[in-house]
């Protein structure tokens, strides 16, 4: 039977490849993001089994308003939406904006939705997969701290959902090409610099992260919970 899958940030980058992977396997996928045009384009590009849903997941009113449009039974929830706050500066107002922004963008987007739909997760087989980052373990200021918060929260979530037979895991990617995350900052020199930090000598592809998400959402991964699956070409250990 086809599963109901919700992929946040499913309109672009890693989330788009995650949505594609599930849709091509015949699952029903809802992709969530803030830009209707981007979501519509993604749904058309994938072709079948994909429904766009516009929602700012950092806004509790928007999450509440979106709930009726989400499936009554959710088999797989992929918390992938996130981005890096771009406010610069060292003054307390800039620091506050950066830290608050990164927390809202990367933690609240996952927590508000997951807590709102936790009673819809399928007992016995439900899966929650949350995308954090290598930055959670190797620094990166407020962004890394926000992603690290997801790791602590995931352990708590796995403990709460475990008695219902539902797993909760993290995928922590290293640098991934072809997404909106870095924009023009990921030029050739930056790709070379980041590639050199890995054991494979290259940065990753969105599809490779999607494969890790797909595994953790599979029936075969039913005894894996509370874990962090690193997907970074060996960058975490380094040379
Ligand atoms: N690319 C990398 O190298 C890398 C490395 C490690 C971890 N990650 C993580 O991977 C995840 C996916 O990033 P990506 O690289 O694929 O970048 P991306 O192309 O920018 O994707 C992020 C997606 O999240 C959505 N989104 C952001 N804020 C949202 C909100 N408040 N409500 C709803 N949707 C929201 C965006 O759509 P809208 O703007 O339309 O809302 C966008 O589709 C992120 O959590 C990122 O932190 C990326």
pLDDT (tens place) for every residue of the chain, 239 residues total: 899 999 999 999 999 999 999 999 999 999 999 999 999 999 999 999 999 999 999 999 999 999 999 999 999 999 999 999 888 889 999 999 999 999 999 999 999 999 999 999 999 999 999 999 999 999 779 999 999 999 999 999 999 999 999 999 999 999 999 999 998 889 999 999 999 999 999 999 999 999 999 999 999 999 999 999 999 999 998 87
- The neighbour count for residue 10, using CB atoms within 10 Å, is 34
From 143, 153, 181, 214, active-site residue: 143
Contact between 179 and 14 (Cβ < 8 Å):
yes
| Pocket perturbation via mutation, ligand 1, pick of 6, 10, 12, 62 by most ligand atoms within 8 A of CB | 12
The CATH code for residues 4-227 is 3.40.50.720
- Pair 96, 62: CB distance under 8 Å: no
49 and 42 in contact (C-beta within 8 Å)? no
In angstroms, what is the span from residue 79 Cα to ligand 1's centroid? Answer: 10
Active site residue 214: no
Q: How far is the CA of 99 from the centre of ligand 1 (A)?
A: 17
Distances (CA, A) of 55 to 58, 112, 145, 184: 9, 12, 24, 26
Residue with CA closest to ligand 1 atom 1: 176
* Spatial contact of 74 and 119, defined as CB atoms under 8 Å apart: no
Q: Is 80 a pocket residue for ligand 1 (Cβ < 6 Å)? A: yes
Q: What are phi and psi of 30, to 5 degrees?
A: -105, 125
3-state secondary structure string, 136-171?
A: HCCCCHHHHHHHHHHHHHHHHHHHHHHHHCCEEEEE
Residue of 13, 130, 132, 231 to test ligand 1 pocket, by largest number of atoms within 8 Å of CB? 13
């Amino acid at each position: 039977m086809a599963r109901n899958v919700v992929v946040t940030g499913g309109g672009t980058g890693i989330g788009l490849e995650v949505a594609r992977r599930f849709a091509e396997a015949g699952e029903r996928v809802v992709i969530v993001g803030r830009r209707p045009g981007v979501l519509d384009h993604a749904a058309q590009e994938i072709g079948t089994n994909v429904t766009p849903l516009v929602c700012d997941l950092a806004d509790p009113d928007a999450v509440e308003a979106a709930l009726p449009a989400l499936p009554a039974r959710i088999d797989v929830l992929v918390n992938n939406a996130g981005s890096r706050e771009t406010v610069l500066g060292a003054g307390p107002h800039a620091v506050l904006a950066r830290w608050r922004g990164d927390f809202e963008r990367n933690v609240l987007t996952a927590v508000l939705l997951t807590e709102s739909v936790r009673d819809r997760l399928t007992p016995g087989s439900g899966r929650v997969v949350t995308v954090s980052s290598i930055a959670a373990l190797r620094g990166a200021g407020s962004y890394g701290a926000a992603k690290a918060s997801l790791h602590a929260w995931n352990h708590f979530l796995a403990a709460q959902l475990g008695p219902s037979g539902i797993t909760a895991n993290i995928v922590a990617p290293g640098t991934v090409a072809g997404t909106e995350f870095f924009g023009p900052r990921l030029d050739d020199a930056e790709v070379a610099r980041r590639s050199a930090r890995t054991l494979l000598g290259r940065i990753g592809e969105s599809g490779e992260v999607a494969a890790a998400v797909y595994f953790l959402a599979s029936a075969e991964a039913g005894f894996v919970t509370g874990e962090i699956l690193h997907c970074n070409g060996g960058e975490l250990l380094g040379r």
